[in-house]
Structure 1
């Protein structure tokens, strides 16, 4: 067998196994007895990382300033509302009714009894308004409009008895009946017969139904009370809402 001429191989072993152009900066390292050349990419990577860091920092600063401005506006608004008039603690009773305030919701519930009847009244917050000139007297905003509250009055006899349900409007100084339904218990068909418009009924029948409600505490005094109650609730809920938004944004800033 022919023997390998080491004199021919040695020059090849001394040559670098990896080369790069003279313009590339290199870092030498050894494999065995041989020194190889490796390009350095560290500087380019560091410049890219620094650029990304600066962009992220600027973005965070802008976000922090934006959220800080929202917090400032919310604090100012809450302070203004509190200084203008501080909400009062809602009362728990009126006449024959106990009041379930439902904090954070747009309605309240009144419950009462009349003889052997149960009375439940669902009351919305202000949900409409009319020009003050179309309705006489009472509270208004800037003497321009009168606010409207919807009442749903349920009157029951016995646990499984029929329910007489009145759809009413509460104006600042009066109650107005809009509709009258009758249903059994808590069940109502998908398309119940709603009867005629209340104003289409005989005048004497209308008067009798108003007297029927008045005897059960659904009267002008209740309307006036509910308007004052809802003014206070409206402010309370507005301040609570702003406080909730403020707390949420504060958590994002942390």
Structure 2
């Protein structure tokens, strides 16, 4: 009798998986699987961020070692230069005569034109970079501002538009004046002379192109450093 009772018990104990054991494993497997997936995901994230930080550090070191930016100029001729750190433009300002103030807002490179040169096989096509200038001329006791929009090419200034606007804000739909190229040639020449007298000339264009090349590199290095610092924070 005892022997008959022991046989089924032995079969239960020695079977590969009892029903209770199967149920226990099935209940624990999902939990273990989620933990494993979370661990692998965290490891992948850590490896990805580590590689990204390595690339950023290498790029920063390369820029600083091979062609570091120079200290930006704070003056040019009669202009004071406001660098506008971290922004895509700078401002120049000066006094002219007894009652005029000239302010020039200058973008970083915002366009280009291909250089018309014979292209050699295996060489990259060169481009002439473009900078936009917005020249504002204020006069004491005047509520209006003379605004002149210009293009600065590497060695020249080109007037694009001239109009009047309010000192504080522009009216709803002001008359913007005719196209500059449509003006009388002599009038165009006189307007260029008007700007040149206030320091808006070809020398300024050359200065701005060198300044913006330096600023472009400075802002690029600053940007990489900011991204690196953000990723490093836990």
Q: TM-score, normalised by structure 2?
A: 0.83
Higher RCO (CA 8 Å, separation ≥ 6 residues): 2
Matched-pair contact (CA < 8 Å) for 1:153–1:166: yes
Runs (4 or more) in structure 1 with deviation over 6 Å come to: none
Q: Is the contact made by 1:149 and 1:171 (CA closer than 8 Å) also made in structure 2?
A: yes
Corresponding residue for residue 124 of structure 1: 107
Other structure's SS at 2:226 match: helix
**What's the CA shift string for 1:51-80, capped at 9, x where partnerless?**
222111111111111111111111121122
2:190, 2:77 → 1: CA distance? 22
Deviations 1:9-64 (A, max 9, x none): xxxxxxxxxxxxx85549xxxxxxxxxxxxx9766554433222211111111111
- Kindly tell me: are residues 212 and 143 of structure 1, through their superposed partners in 2, closer, same or farther at Cα, counting changes over 3 Å? farther
The 3-state SS of whatever aligns with 1:148 is strand
Say if 2:181 is the partner of 1:199: yes
Answer with 1 or 2: which has the greater Rg. 1
> Aligned to 2:86, what secondary structure does the other structure show?
coil
Contact 1:107 1:125 in 2 (8 A): yes
2:46 to 53, 56, 64: 64
Quick check: 1:131–1:144 contact (8 Å CA) kept in 2?
A: yes
Aligned length: 211
Match runs of 1:130-169 below 5 Å: 130-133=113-116, 144-158=126-140, 160-169=142-151
TM-score scaled by structure 1? 0.77
For the aligned residue pairs, the C-alpha RMSD in angstroms reads 2.2
Comparing both structures, which one devotes a greater share of its residues to helix? Answer: 2
1:248 deviates by 1.4
Contact persistence 1:117–1:156 (CA under 8 A): yes
Cα distance between partner residues in 1 of 2:110 and 2:181: 22
